Amino acid sequence: MIRAQRRFHDSGRSRSSSAVVFALIAFLALHPASAAGTQNGSQAAPAPALSPTITFTLDFPESIPDHYMVTVSADGHAAYDSTGKLTPEGDTPEPFHMEFVLSAGNRIKIFELARRAGYFAGKLDSEKHNLANTGVKTLTYRDEQRSTRSSYNYSSSQPVQELTSLFQRISMTLEFGRRLEYFHRYQKLALDDELKRMDEMERSNALEEVQAVAPILKKISEDQSVINGARARALRLLQESR
């Protein structure tokens, strides 16, 4: 009698174990991703969220530069790319690229103006035909919910006008940095005139994000082979950028 009971209990445990194994196999067959996650020891990490990004592009043949693009992320990281000659008489160097951290004030301002401009979802161009061509400008906005862009020559939208002017001032500053790098390496005698122009434009509030070119200003201000006037201007601009 005791042996029969033991056989009965052993048989019950066997049937229970088989049921568990069968259920596990069925689950893994229906959820292969879970099986892969278990084998790897962890679940696959979710894709990182797309940070809101605004890009301004200008294409204007025969101008200097003839093309440039400023990209700004909501975290303040910014990138600048441009092509074209350094000076009207000069050769065309390699395409220029630099990355920098945008000041908090301009970062907030840019994204607020984009919001006021409807994130560029509609037409931005005024479509007036009696206006001079000042280049094809394109504003683009991207985040996890939307991807919008619009091109224009001139826009009557006040937020778009402010954005255009701001991005153009940023480009002007970074192009100064581009030329200063070139002149410091190849034409040090040209630095004085270039820094005079930059100093005048900075005093008239025609530049933005001067801190982005602080490394080259510092390099010039500390270079004993550069004339004193140029070094002094570079130092003043460096101090203003801080």
- For residue range 155-196, what is the model confidence (pLDDT) as tens digits? 999 999 999 999 999 999 999 999 999 999 999 999 999 999
Choose among 171, 170, 175: nearest CA to 209: 170
Contacts of 223 (CB under 8 A, 6+ apart): 184, 231
pLDDT classification of 130: cutoffs 50, 70, 90: confident
Contacts of 196 (CB under 8 A, 6+ apart): 233
Residue in the structure block whose two tokens are 């605004």: 54
pLDDT for the residue numbered 7: 45
Give the side-chain half-sphere CA count within 13 A for 109: 15
Compute the distance between CA of residue 86 and CA of residue 231 in angstroms, rounded to an integer: 21
Compute the distance between CA of residue 97 and CA of residue 87 in angstroms, rounded to an integer: 18
Q: Could you tell me the residue ranges of all domains in the chain?
A: 53-241
- For residue range 1-20, what is the model confidence (pLDDT) as tens digits? 444 444 444 444 444 444 44
Asked whether the predicted pLDDT for residue 88 surpasses 90, the reply is no
pLDDT for the residue numbered 86: 84
pLDDT classification of 145: cutoffs 50, 70, 90: very high
**Mean pLDDT, the chain, integer:** 85
Contact present, 59 and 84 (Cβ < 8 Å): no
Mean predicted confidence (pLDDT) in 63-91: 91
Mean predicted confidence (pLDDT) in 21-41: 44
pLDDT for the residue numbered 19: 45
Contact present, 181 and 153 (Cβ < 8 Å): no
Choose among 212, 191, 61, 209: nearest CA to 133: 61
Compute the distance between CA of residue 102 and CA of residue 76 in angstroms, rounded to an integer: 5
